[in-house]
Amino acid sequence: MRLAKFLAGAGVASRRAAEELVRAGRVTIDRVAVTDPARDVEPGVTVALDGRPVEAQPPRVVYALNKPAGVVSTARDPQRRPTVVSLVPDEARLYPVGRLDIDTTGLILLTNDGELAHRLTHPRFEVEKVYRALVANPPVRDRALRQLRAGVQLEEGRTAPAGVRRLRPDTLELTLREGRKRQAKRMCEAVGHPVRRLERIRFGALELGSLRPGEARRLSASEVQALTRVPAV
Ligand code: URA
């Protein structure tokens, strides 16, 4: 890997600024000053800036997991229940992107990139999450659909307009852009249809697809890129 890219990847500076640091003679490889930003950094060498070693950042990894019921969405659980992290075969320190309730199944992402996790969960970015909900007291009538779409009053305030489709008399598909606690369940309950089963089937551009419960797969670079692309309105 080129030296400037290595420095930028380690969070030292932007690629351009890292090139300047190298040209200024402030960077060494194995204690020897290097002024060519394109110099190759081989595995095992020590790169230092102003005499202080620079740690290489592990590459970004993002996994999609089909979370089964009974698994918690935290990295560690004091009650020692199975966690989403324990279902992903990776050495990297991963943590979940947002949460699903313990009884909610479906698509959850895990990553070692805090910046990406923030970008995907902060309400400001309005990333769409799509849920399929099996509800009580069918059939769900048009009035309830209209209420859900317009926004329902929850304890902490009104929900933003949501996408809602009735797939069957007892099954709804909800598209939410907020990430309030137990939001889908509280919304359905507020219109008289408590949720019996909830599954997340899409997160941003990424579909749950054919992942089986408990199965995880690493996303490709282009899938990760698509995650942060703003959807066309
Ligand atoms: N909404 C809920 O009510 N529960 C979840 O797990 C996710 C969204």
Q: Are residues 67 and 180 in the same domain?
A: no
Whether residue 176 is contained in a domain is answered as yes
Strands (E), the chain: 27-29, 32-33, 47-49, 52-53, 62-67, 95-96, 105-111, 129-135, 153-154, 157-158, 163-168, 171-176, 195-203, 206-207, 216-218
Q: Are residues 94 and 71 in the same domain?
A: yes
CATH code of 172's domain: 3.30.70.1560
Q: Are residues 76 and 38 in the same domain?
A: no
Whether residue 221 is contained in a domain is answered as yes
Q: Which of 53, 78, 93 delimits the end of a domain?
A: 53
Q: Are residues 90 and 118 in the same domain?
A: yes
Q: Separation of 112 CA from ligand 1 center, angstroms?
A: 23
Q: Are residues 20 and 36 in the same domain?
A: yes
Q: Are residues 164 and 111 in the same domain?
A: no
Whether residue 233 is contained in a domain is answered as no
Whether residue 139 is contained in a domain is answered as yes
Q: Are residues 12 and 115 in the same domain?
A: no
Active site residue 77: no
pLDDT tens for each residue of the chain, 233 residues long: 899 989 888 878 888 899 999 999 999 999 999 999 999 999 899 999 999 999 887 888 999 999 999 999 988 889 999 999 999 987 678 889 999 999 999 999 999 888 888 889 888 888 999 999 999 999 999 999 999 999 999 999 999 999 999 999 999 999 999 989 999 999 999 999 999 999 999 999 999 999 999 999 999 999 999 987 755 44
Q: Are residues 136 and 197 in the same domain?
A: yes
Number of structural domains found in the chain: 3
Question: Which of 40, 50, 101, 170 is an active site residue?
Answer: 101
Q: Which residue has the tokens 């990297």?
A: 92
Q: Separation of 202 CA from ligand 1 center, angstroms?
A: 13
Task: Kindly report the pTM of this predicted structure.
Answer: 0.82
Q: Are residues 107 and 77 in the same domain?
A: yes
Whether residue 135 is contained in a domain is answered as yes
Q: Is the CB of 180 under 6 A from ligand 1?
A: no
Domain containing 177: what range?
128-203
